[in-house]
Amino acid sequence: MDENLCNLLITKGELKQSIFSVTLETMRLFKESAKSFEEFYREHYADEHENIPVLFTNKNQYQFTFKFGGDVLIFLMHTNIFEFSRDHEVMRTPYIKEDKTRSYCGMIQIFNFLGDSIKYDRVNDLGYMIGRIFINKEGHYYIEGKRELAQVLNNFSNNEISAGAASEILNSAIRYTLNFDLLVPDYEDMKIITVNDILQLEEQTNLLRTGKRLGFKFEQDKNE
């Protein structure tokens, strides 16, 4: 019997369970932040702006949606634990070099969809990952994301998740989404349609794929 192997199994398993618990707690903080935003909006603005909804919907412990205006943010927690690659910038920090297990993280992704894509079940429509948050065993977090999210100061050694941090990240995601507008599709991409397409379109209104940026890739910012 290999005791070293058994000890490794236990050590790794306990580490990942600890990170999972911290990530799940982070998810709870995001949910509380979204609910607080909804309640504040309902109390101060909803009566005068009934046509501009704000709605938090809890799907399960790993997912929730936050609708505001014509947009929806989906927060999705991955159930697995990841480690930063050896080439990632955080791996060169003293914080990680002091304790390599700090590089193991849970992950929460943020996706943006058009509200009508969800409302009308337009299954061909596109959504975009606008950010992802990595949380380690100590509750320290690192963000990869677009513009406003990327501008949240990344200091993995100092940034600890809290209600305030969750609110800041949520607000940054909303701000980015509001500035990420729907562009007119290229004419050449839309000019040809079959009879079958138009007949199906009459029935389900979901055939013509819609997205804020058709052909947009998460890695590229230059065409936004």
| Model confidence band, residue 146 (pLDDT cutoffs 50, 70, 90) | confident
- 220 within a domain of the structure (yes/no): no
The reported pTM is 0.83
Note down the domain range covering 69: 3-204
Mean pLDDT of 51-68: 97
The mean pLDDT of the chain is: 85
> 201 CB contacts (<8 Å, ≥6 apart)?
207, 208
Residue 209 is assigned to a structural domain of this protein? no
Q: Provide the 8-state DSSP code for 68.
A: E
Q: Is residue 90 part of a domain?
A: yes
**How far is the C-alpha of 177 from the C-alpha of 167, rounded, in Å?**
15
Residue 222 located in a structural domain = no
Mean pLDDT of 84-97: 93
66/122: higher pLDDT: 66
Domains of the chain: total:
1
| 210 falls within a domain | no
138 pLDDT more than 80: yes
Which range (94-103, 112-121, 195-204) has the least confidence?
A: 195-204
Q: Which residue has the higher pLDDT, 223 or 63?
A: 63
Q: Could you give the CA distance from residue 156 to residue 27 in angstroms, rounded to a whole number?
A: 18
Residue 164 lies in a domain: yes
Measured in degrees and rounded to the nearest 5, phi and psi for residue 64 equal -150, 160
> Does residue 53 sit within a domain?
yes
Residue 218 lies in a domain: no
